[in-house]
Every structure is written in structure tokens, then in C-alpha cells.
Amino acid sequence: MKNDESVIILDFYGQYNQLIARRVRECNVYSEILPFNTPIDKIIEKKPKGIIFTGGPASVYADDAPKCDPKIFDLGIPILGICYGMQLMTYTLGGTVLRAEKREYGETPVNISTSPLFEGFENTNICLMSHTDFVSQVPVGFEVIGNTSNCPIAAMQNVDKKLYGIQFHPEVNNTVKGTQIIKNFLFNVCNCTGTWKMSSFVQDSIKTLRERIGDKKALCALSGGVDSSVAAVLLHKAIGKNLTCIFVDHGLLRKNEGDEVENIFRNQFDINLIRVNAKDRFLAKLAGVTEPEKKRKIIGEEFIRVFEEEAKKIGTVDYLVQGTIYPDVIESGLGKGATIKSHHNVGGLPDYVDFKEIVEPLRDLFKDEVRKTGLELGIPENLVFRQPFPGPGLAIRIIGDITDDKLNILKDADAIFREEVANVGLDKELNQYFAVLTNLKSVGVMGDERTYDYTIALRSVTTSDFMTATWSRIPYDLLEKISSRIVNEVKHVNRVVYDITSKPPATIEWE
């Protein structure tokens, strides 16, 4: 992606690393997350206007603590260290970090001093603290610019070297005016101009894709979801009829969704579309498989195999287009970071792919940025704001093995959930909602007879970026109606539960 200015976020296994990147982009500055051990040469090549160190669970004194190359402090690039990032900056530059007698966690008043970082702030600000270690002595050349009742050094700065550290988390909503702190760092310290926007991304991407692919042919992996749909239209504007979209109906879509996807793209877009009905093929591959990561990898490889077969029917096709987005890349493992889950179009790809190159035009975008891109491209709002749906489909919403009978149970239950949510107008407020077929059976009573059937779990979240999410407070009377309908209308279900777990600690999907 072409950017006149960017900021690098070095990830030290921080819980909120993606959220930091989002906050930077909200300020119209492009950001990129890199592993903490990224070589200095690679950082220099990217010519960042600034660097942000994330938090992390480690102690700087631990043998296996993640540490970056100390030379990074000699580059003359402004650096903001957050939580563990501040402690690492202190430790590396000769200050002192100690273990606190009492962990500081929660919304805490922070007394702040004059600083480019705190321009526009009062003397006290509520911030989210989450740390066990603390800075007891700043490095030479630094001054203390923040403290709390339990933390004597909650913020520090070396104005001359443009090095800043804060013990709290400005990226979360719990910190009052937290985004303003990040904005102050970007504009007051890094001298960013904030020129990055989606319209320029669309124009630059179309031009780049046209130059990259030329008159060669490309296949697009179209699922009908937001990501692949935006990728398809973006490619179509770049190479026109040289793009063919392959819609693989693997039988793992929501009720009637296959026909809906086909109708949208045949009627609303002048795009070459091939629908491949491959339900039996996928179910055969997934037979008896219960482990979610194995499901994802099987589906990922089978997708590729189907594309290869369709490509041979078309002729010479050099490029495979996928709707991979940034959260997919991050959650599938960034550098040596922990893999949360392999996405079928990232970590699930097979070792050998029979295409010259894989094109992922949305790889650097978060979900809300993908939606903005879709609107810039003229895609109808009803498709742009369609409910997110995972590439592996219902395979990861069925806990345990997958059968045709289980699919039908889940499709019917999920359709009832979505219908009732839409009936009361909540479909535009809830960012993602769906049903899960658990592998739990329990005793019930229906018509004075004992039953022993499945439990359906309902899941709904509210989120702005899909990196963090809170469970939706759906009205009880609506939940009651949904539960009653599912139990009475869907065979082999006798119990409905509602998931009230946020992300983190859970992910949005169950698998």
C-alpha cells in the first residue's frame, strides 16, 4: 500500500495491539503492526514518521521477555511506549523497573504535567491502568510527566529525543480522551499531516492492480461476504472482464444464502460469475473432523483445489484474488506472535497453490475500512453492511463433527434468530449475531415426553472494529420469543442459551 506517511506499531504480544493501529488510522495516519523483533533495516526501509511500542504480559527482566533492537532508540524516530513498552524503554535506556507490591488495574486518576502528549488536557485524567511492574526511576534525560497514588511514574518524556512513555492504555475507551493522546503524539511529536483516507486508497489500489495484473486473467474467491465482495468489485474496476469470480457453495452457508449471493452479483454487477455447488465434496472431506483448526485448514485447501479446477476450465489464469483483511492476518499469527486461530484464507492455505500469485487487495484494512472502501466503490449499503460471515461458514459454528442433519438444524435456528432481530429493527444496531450448534445434549420435556436433544447458543456482539467486542444487551422479551420459536420449530433442539462473553477474553466466533 502506498503511503506518504505511516506509523509502525511494534507488537510485544499486547492485548490491544490491533486497537492501537485502529486509533492511529482514525487520525488519518496509516499504521502497520510488526513483530517486536523486526530487524532495524526493515524498519528504516518503511520510513515511519513514528513508532509505538504496545503493552504486553511479560516482565522486562524475564529471560524470555520480548525485546527489540536497542538501536531503534538511535534512529531519531519519535517513539511512544505504552505500558510494557514504557517499561522496556526505561530498562533499555538505563532506568529502573520494579515489581509493584500491589497490581494496579482499572480506571485510575492520573496527575499529568505539561507535555506535547497532553496538549488540551486538564491536570488530571482518568486512564486505564493494567500493570504489575512499574518504572521507579526514569533514564537519564527523561522527566516525569504523570503519576498516580500507586504509581510514582505513570508517564515520562525526553522531548529532545522525542521519546515518550505512558504506563496506561490510551487506545481503550476506558481512558478519557485516549485517542487525543495518540493524536497528540502523531501530530505534535511525529509531525504527521493526516492525509491517509479511503478514497485515495481506492484510486491507488485500482491503479496498482491494473499495472500489476495487466491483461492477464484473475480468479476471485467470492463468498458473498463483505470482504470478498469489495475485493471483487475493486478488481473488476481494475481489470474488467479479465476477472472471473468463483462462488463456491460449500453447503456451509446460511439458509438460502447461496441463491441470494448469486442473484446479487448477477443482477447488480456486470461481473463474470461461476457458481460451483460443492456441498457433497466439502462434507466428505470434513466427515468425522471435530478439531476447529483442522476444519479451517481442510476448508482452506479444498477452496484452493476447487479454484484450480475451475481455472483450468477457463484457460490460463495467473492470479487468485482473496478478500483477506488485516484482522485475518493478525489473528493467524504475526511474526512469532501467538496464533489465535488460522483463517482459511491465510493460515489455512496449503503449501502448494497452482497460481502464479495470490492477490489480496484488502490485506492491510480493518473491517470498517473495508466497508468504507465498498461505499467508495459504489457498492449498495445493504451488501456493504451485511452481517460478517466467516469463510469456513457454519463449519465453525457447529461444535464437533459436521453432518447434513446438523447443518439443517443450525440453518433453521440461525434464520429464526436473524429474522426476529430484523423484525424489531435491531439488525442495524447489532454488529454481528448468529446461532451456534453446540455438541451438548440435555434432558428436556416436550408434550409431556422426555427429550434428549441439542442446545443452541445465541451470540451477538457490538463492536466498532471487530478487534474488541462487547456482548449485546438484547431485550429479554426478544430473547424469549427467539428461544420459543427455535425450540418449537426446529427439530432436535430443546434448549437455547445466550453467550454473554466479550472479546477479549473470548473471540467473536466460537471456533
Active site annotation includes 211: no
Is the bond into 505 cis (omega within 30 degrees of 0)?
yes
The single residue of 104, 127, 151, 169 carrying the catalytic annotation is 169
Sign, CA torsion 497/485/411/245: negative
Rounded CA separation 33/326 (Å): 10
Is the bond into 116 cis (omega within 30 degrees of 0)?
no
Rounded CA separation 250/256 (Å): 13
Rounded CA separation 363/63 (Å): 34
The single residue of 27, 104, 127, 171 carrying the catalytic annotation is 171
The single residue of 68, 83, 190, 192 carrying the catalytic annotation is 83
Give me the amino acid identity at 444. G
Grid coordinates standing for 155? 508517564
DSSP secondary structure, 449-467, as one string: EEEEEEEEEEEEEE-SSSS
Rounded CA separation 175/129 (Å): 9
CB 68 within 8 A of CB 58: no
Active site annotation includes 83: yes
Active site annotation includes 492: no
Q: How far is CA 332 from CA 106, 298, 325, 409, 467, in A?
A: 29, 15, 11, 30, 13
Catalytically active residues, by annotation? 83, 169, 171
